Structure 1
Amino acid sequence: MVSIPEYYEGKNVLLTGATGFLGKVLLEKLLRSCPKVNSVYVLVRQKAGQTPQERVEEVLSGKLFDRLRDENPDFREKIIAINSELTQPKLALSEEDKEVIIESTNIIFHCAATVRFNENLRDAVQLNVIATRQLILLAQQMKNLEVFMHVSTAYAYCNRKHIDEVVYPPPVDPKKLIDSLEWMDDGLVNDITPKLIGDRPNTYIYTKALAEYVVQQEGAKLNVAIVRPSIVGASWKEPFPGWIDNFNGPSGLFIAAGKGILRTIRASNNALADLVPVDVVVNMSLAAAWYSGVNRPRNIMVYNCTTGSTNPFHWGEVGYYVSHSFKMNPLNQVFRCPSFKFNSSSLSHHYRKGVSHRVSALLLDCTHVDRMMKTITRLHKAMVFLEYFTSNSWVWNTDNVNMLMNQLNPEDKKTFNIDVRQLHWAEYIENYCLGTKKYVLNEEMSGLPAARKHLNKLRNIRYGFNTILVILIWRIFIARSQMARNIWYFVTCQKHHKTRTAEQDRRNLAQPSLIREHLPAADQRGDGALECNLAEDHSELALQGQIQHLQILPS
């Protein structure tokens, strides 16, 4: 069987979503690890006054492609930007571009999608379902197409607790939904959305399930493979550890925690945090397309690209490692010391949210920061969308993933590593947090000493404030309590009498003859008996003294 780089040699690849997080990593990996690929057609729309070529050039000039620029400076020659709008009829392709694509394309990677959880249902259907259907129809016209690779999500069927590597029946017929949305106004669409999505948490998950069914039905005559990643995070190894370029998913939460803004999130500490590095998703997509292209299986191949079944990691551990990482390598100008916790208790969560989030935001807005409450409000909205995923766990079958891993030769297993059993979570989270600092916030590592000094300053302020708070509480509330005063007097009097009794015993034992002179002859006994009497007498005196002092305590 040919290796993965050999399979892609001379192939023409069509890629959607190349300006998105996953798409640009796939583009970089394909060009770097399969340098003999013939060309990559990138479907990109005009945006913000930029042409498709300008948008692609902006992507290629980023830090993500630094390694590729060093190894292959001429890689840009293989990339062909094509003006296309996936939400428009026939993808808004010109006849000339369409003809080139139909004649040349061998492999399709469909990564484009809207990943906004609160997307309007009409827009989500347009971007995730209708666009996928139109791309399938275009693929059916391609003369040399070998594989159609569709990137979905592992949560497409989150209404099930156990998810196999199959395409399940859709919650509704996609064609009927598309037809209905054409005559509905926005108000009606918003009203029926909760009933339509049912037990799925948002329109993104709902429409990705519909898209899988469209791929299965419309692409029945195509060689189709589907990769379902769970929560896609920063890179594990490639092109370098910790690369991330957006605030989506856990990245935004990590940054908020590192800044000291986010202190709590509602979650089950024992729930599985099914994070999967973006380079693992890319490697699996490239390997899955290779397997389908070489073996041409009779049935559609589905791969659950997850980590929970093979290398479990829990949200409680995520909170600990994130806080620890940002304490060791703090962000610049943090507002508070990082202390990020997942709370399974609703009462504890709402208390910390009110005190640590809203009260702190109000105090900061009253001083020098006038936008903190708006930031907290947006953060709370994001937390609501993520709560569903941090409070539940799922079991994904990964038989096809294991089969794919066993099909790779030793060299491909290294180059296209998909074995998440080797992933060390503490190291990964540390690199992830550093990646948010370097690549999202663009903070220089040379500023770490100053950031640590600032964090130590905040820590000292917190210790000082807590000390003053304890003293004030004692003086205002406890010191004025009659019970507290009685306990205080009892403790101090007891110590005083113990000290006085011990001193008296030492003096008496040092001069036993003086005591014997005043004792009657009948009572003069051995030293041992005398010492016992002395101990008894002084114990009685101590007890009487304590009773007398308790009687004079103020009422």
Structure 2
Amino acid sequence: MLSTPGLILETPYLLGKTLNDANGLDINTEKKIIEERLKELSYDKTSTDKSITLAMKDLGVERANKFGWPNTYVFTKALGEMILGHMKGDMPLVILRPTIITSTYKEPFPGWIEGIRTIDSLAVGYGKGQLSCFLGDPESIIDVIPADMVVNAMIATMVAHANQPSCEIIYHVGSSVSNPLKYKSIQQSGYKYFSKHPWINKEGKPVIVGQVKVLNSMASFQRYFSLRYLLPLQGLQVANLALCHAFNGTYTNLKRKTNFVLRLVELYKPYLFSKSFYDDMNTKKLCQLVRENEADMFYFDPKTIDWAVYFENTHLPGAVKHVFK
């Protein structure tokens, strides 16, 4: 999904359209740029697999930013939609755009999740005591949807459009319009859950969590982060060197926390102040069709979710059980 402000409609992206009205988006040109850059790097004898990977990631972000997308992931998804719409001919085309996918609401059982997904990086870092500050607007809307609701919406769309000779329709499967969830609500749920059920670390001791300090501008975050992490880290580094690495463990631990917070901020920066809302009128009509046909087993209406109950009793326990290491 995208992080542009305002109501984002369930409409297709036409071939060559950009988010910032920049000219020159051509898929064949993008493909050529990638191939030529990869060839250059491969012929460079000083390049390593790691340096090539990093260089190609940087190129992807650069090309995405040029046309208004925040990262390569959403840029390539948009390109994929353009290609499908352009080449579909008379074939029916149905596109689902799920927002941030979280653990299952009900099936195959509540809280099931496989691997760390988006906001779970924050949950893991917070529960393990690695995250004491973060960047963002507590009042911003975080658009999430449980995994089983996404699957049910997929099944419903296949049935609804199976016999249509030609169509092109898009479904936003999310919650920001029907049942908005604020960033601060997730923060509060995390504090409540991990206060009652602290993570037990490798030493067998519970990790005591406090409220995460959320800074609402990059400048204030940088000031706080410098005082909270960087200055102590620099002081510890000097002391560690002076005392023959006597503080190696403490220094390594603090450096790991510092890098972790910086990585998360960089990863989520495009979304932390999001003013986007995803229109779901098509999805609402599909929900109504499911109800009319008494197919309630294929539930995907986000209005049925109590977010506080879901995060404290389902999602966070599921994340701890299935993805915490």
Query: TM-score interval w.r.t. the shorter chain?
Result: 0.7 to 0.9
User: 2: CA distance between counterparts of 1:304 and 1:352?
Assistant: 37
User: 1: CA distance between counterparts of 2:149 and 2:229?
Assistant: 35
Aligned positions of 1:276-295 closer than 5 A = 276-294=145-163
Q: 1:361 to 1:259 in 2, by over 3 A?
A: farther
User: 2: CA distance between counterparts of 1:419 and 1:191?
Assistant: 39
1:424 to 306, 314, 321: 306
Corresponding residue of 2:47? none
For residue 180 of structure 1, report the CA deviation from its aligned partner: 3.9
Aligned positions of 1:167-316 closer than 5 A = 167-169=12-14, 170-171=17-18, 172-185=25-38, 190=58, 194=62, 197-198=65-66, 199-294=68-163, 296=164, 298-316=166-184
RMSD: 2.8
Worse-matched range after superposition: 361-370 or 217-226: 361-370
What runs of 5+ residues in structure 2 fail to find an aligned partner? 19-24, 42-54, 241-246
For residue 219 of structure 1, report the CA deviation from its aligned partner: 2.1
Q: Which amino acid aligns with 1:183?
A: E
**Structure 1 residue 161 and structure 2 residue 44: aligned?**
no
- For the residue of structure 2 that corresponds to 1:427, the secondary structure is helix
User: 2: CA distance between counterparts of 1:247 and 1:208?
Assistant: 20
Corresponding residue of 2:21? none
- For the residue of structure 2 that corresponds to 1:436, the secondary structure is helix
Does the CA-based 8 Å contact 1:275-1:307 persist in structure 2?
A: yes
Corresponding residue of 1:105? none
The answer to which structure has the higher helix fraction is 1
1:319 to 176, 187, 190: 187
Q: Which amino acid aligns with 2:80?
A: A
Q: 1:323 to 1:360 in 2, by over 3 A?
A: farther
User: 2: CA distance between counterparts of 1:274 and 1:308?
Assistant: 5
Q: Deviations over 1:236-274 (max 9, x none)?
A: 221222222222310011111111210121111111011
**Structure 1 residue 331 and structure 2 residue 199: aligned?**
yes
User: 2: CA distance between counterparts of 1:243 and 1:173?
Assistant: 40
User: 2: CA distance between counterparts of 1:392 and 1:267?
Assistant: 9
User: 2: CA distance between counterparts of 1:356 and 1:303?
Assistant: 43
**Structure 1 residue 439 and structure 2 residue 292: aligned?**
no
Q: Deviations over 1:399-443 (max 9, x none)?
A: 11011111114675431111110100101111211112111126x
Q: 1:279 to 1:361 in 2, by over 3 A?
A: farther
Q: Which amino acid aligns with 2:29?
A: K
Q: Deviations over 1:183-240 (max 9, x none)?
A: 3445697568525532211111111110001111122332221100111111122122
- For the residue of structure 2 that corresponds to 1:227, the secondary structure is strand
Q: Which amino acid aligns with 1:424?
A: D
Aligned positions of 1:107-186 closer than 5 A = 154-155=1-2, 158-159=3-4, 161-169=6-14, 170-171=17-18, 172-185=25-38
Does the CA-based 8 Å contact 1:231-1:275 persist in structure 2?
A: yes
For residue 283 of structure 1, report the CA deviation from its aligned partner: 1.0
For residue 328 of structure 1, report the CA deviation from its aligned partner: 1.3
Does the CA-based 8 Å contact 1:303-1:401 persist in structure 2?
A: yes
For residue 315 of structure 1, report the CA deviation from its aligned partner: 0.7
Aligned residues: 286
Structure number with larger C-alpha Rg: 1
Q: Which amino acid aligns with 1:332?
A: I
1:390 to 259, 272, 296: 272
- For the residue of structure 1 that corresponds to 2:90, the secondary structure is coil
Does the CA-based 8 Å contact 2:91-2:167 persist in structure 1?
A: no
Worse-matched range after superposition: 356-365 or 381-390: 356-365
- For the residue of structure 1 that corresponds to 2:166, the secondary structure is coil
Q: 1:297 to 1:233 in 2, by over 3 A?
A: farther
Q: Deviations over 1:491-519 (max 9, x none)?
A: xxxxxxxxxxxxxxxxxxxxxxxxxxxxx
- For the residue of structure 2 that corresponds to 1:304, the secondary structure is strand
User: 1: CA distance between counterparts of 2:104 and 2:63?
Assistant: 37
User: 2: CA distance between counterparts of 1:383 and 1:412?
Assistant: 44
TM superposition score normalised by structure 2: 0.78
